[in-house]
């Protein structure tokens, strides 16, 4: 798009609960990467899974971002307002015979070993209720992560035929995140390492839609113990109740960008200015998980 900045990044929270320390890490990491590149930083509300959404939390999240000095560019995009767009893409994939109906239950998939084996791919199912799966095509198991470097994802996971429209009629995250990134012109995605293994399938879907995928970088996850990340489901504490500069200092230290002593208690705007000027992707720890209990 003429006149667009070379860099467009994004932060895409789910409004199912208030921002916690783990989600602020993703927000700050994506913000600083965008601003250090003199690019745009967008906010997108991933509210496609409507049964999990909590009324008013989107406004709470936006207020919290502002509290921490994280001001977004352009208007906030809501997935729940884009259903026609997702349906258009779904229909396009159907016309290309890249989608098929699936009647397998979670129990059946568990009995397959936890990964779907393509059982319904050639049954020609059309009667609802069905989940709709994308036929795996052109998926590369290898990619280079901006933080973790060369990655190789297990082929069975990367090449799985995954759901893009659920049995309840809701579009799945794996479809809408790619469509949103394309439509918003996202050039780089900085997000939590829990999504690292999903990168090959998202890259492949971009190519199916004849678009160049963004670059991807994954940040370490804040965990209360190995395998248990800070999350809304684990009742992580809302960070809005803590002094913003204290939390920001902890976030930057977590990301390998510790503030100098004289800025530890400075206003959060000063802390962010320093962090933007000194931001280094190479300083971020190359760990999938890191312990954090201060704000859990």
What percentage of the chain exceeds 70 in pLDDT? 95
Residues 205 and 264 in one domain: yes
CATH of the domain at 55: 3.40.50.620
- Express the helix, strand and coil content of the chain in percent, nearest 5 each: 40, 20, 45
Domain presence at residue 294: no
Domain presence at residue 230: yes
Which candidate, 275, 193, 282, places its Cα nearest to that of 230?
193
Please state the residue numbers annotated as binding site for ATP. 232
Query: What DSSP element (H or E) covers 41?
Result: strand 40-45
Check pLDDT > 70 for residue 89. yes
Residues 161 and 189 in one domain: no
The pLDDT, as a whole number, for residue 2 is 43
Residues 74 and 182 in one domain: yes
Domain count, the chain: 2
The pLDDT, as a whole number, for residue 232 is 60
Among 152, 174, 196, the domain boundary falls at 174
Q: From CA 182, how far away is CA 213, in angstroms rounded?
A: 8
Q: Rounded to the nearest 5 degrees, what angle is found at the Cα of 161, between the Cα atoms of 158 and 162? A: 90
Residues 77 and 182 in one domain: yes
Burial of 186 (0-12, 13-18, 19+ CB in 10 A): buried
Please state the residue numbers annotated as binding site for Zn(2+). 102, 104, 116, 120
Per the prediction, the chain carries an average pLDDT of: 94
How confident is the model over 101-132, as pLDDT tens digits? 999 999 999 999 999 999 999 999 999 999 99
Residues 131 and 12 in one domain: no
Residues 51 and 101 in one domain: no
Please state the residue numbers annotated as binding site. 10-14, 46, 102, 104, 116, 120, 173, 191, 232
Residues 218 and 183 in one domain: yes
Query: What DSSP element (H or E) covers 216?
Result: strand 215-219
Instruction: Give me the phi and psi of 269, to 5 degrees please.
Output: -65, -40
Please state the residue numbers annotated as binding site for L-glutamate. 10-14, 46, 173, 191
The pLDDT, as a whole number, for residue 3 is 45
How confident is the model over 33-77, as pLDDT tens digits? 999 999 999 999 999 999 999 999 999 999 999 999 999 999 999
Residue 137 structure tokens: 């095509």
Check pLDDT > 60 for residue 235. no
More confident residue, 249 or 295: 249
Residues 278 and 207 in one domain: yes
The pLDDT, as a whole number, for residue 154 is 95
Q: Which domain holds residue 125?
A: 83-174
Residues 42 and 77 in one domain: yes
More confident residue, 142 or 233: 142
Among 153, 174, 195, the domain boundary falls at 174
Residues 167 and 59 in one domain: no
Among 149, 174, 199, the domain boundary falls at 174
Domain presence at residue 292: no
Check pLDDT > 60 for residue 95. yes
Residues 38 and 183 in one domain: yes
Q: For the residues 261-277, what does the mean pLDDT come to?
A: 97
Residues 73 and 207 in one domain: yes
């Amino acid at each position: 798009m003429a006149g667009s900045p070379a860099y467009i990044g994004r932060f895409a929270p789910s409004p199912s609960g208030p921002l916690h320390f783990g989600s602020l890490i993703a927000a700050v990491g994506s913000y600083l990467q965008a601003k250090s590149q003199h690019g745009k930083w967008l906010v997108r509300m991933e509210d496609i899974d409507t049964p999990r959404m909590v009324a008013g939390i989107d406004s709470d999240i936006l207020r919290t971002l502002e509290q921490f000095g994280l001001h977004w560019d352009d208007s906030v995009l809501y997935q729940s307002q884009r259903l026609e767009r997702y349906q258009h893409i779904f229909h396009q994939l159907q016309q290309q015979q890249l989608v098929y109906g699936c009647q397998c239950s979670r129990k059946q998939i568990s009995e397959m070993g936890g990964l779907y084996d393509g059982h319904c791919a050639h049954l020609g199912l059309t009667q609802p209720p069905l989940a709709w799966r994308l036929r795996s095509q052109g998926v590369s198991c290898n990619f280079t992560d901006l933080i973790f470097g060369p990655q190789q994802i297990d082929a069975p996971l990367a090449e799985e035929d995954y759901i893009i429209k659920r049995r309840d009629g809701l579009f799945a995250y794996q479809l809408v995140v790619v469509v949103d990134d394309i439509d918003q012109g996202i050039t780089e995605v900085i997000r939590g390492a829990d999504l690292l293994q999903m990168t090959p399938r998202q890259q492949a879907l971009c190519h199916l839609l004849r678009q160049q995928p963004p670059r991807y970088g994954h940040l370490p996850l804040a965990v209360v113990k190995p395998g248990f990340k800070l999350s809304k489901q684990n009742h992580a504490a809302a960070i809005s109740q803590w002094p913003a500069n204290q939390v920001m200092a902890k976030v930057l230290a977590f990301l390998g960008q510790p503030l100098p002593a004289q800025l530890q208690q400075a206003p959060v705007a000063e802390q962010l200015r320093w962090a933007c000027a000194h931001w280094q992707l190479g300083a971020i720890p190359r760990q999938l998980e890191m312990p954090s209990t201060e704000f859990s």
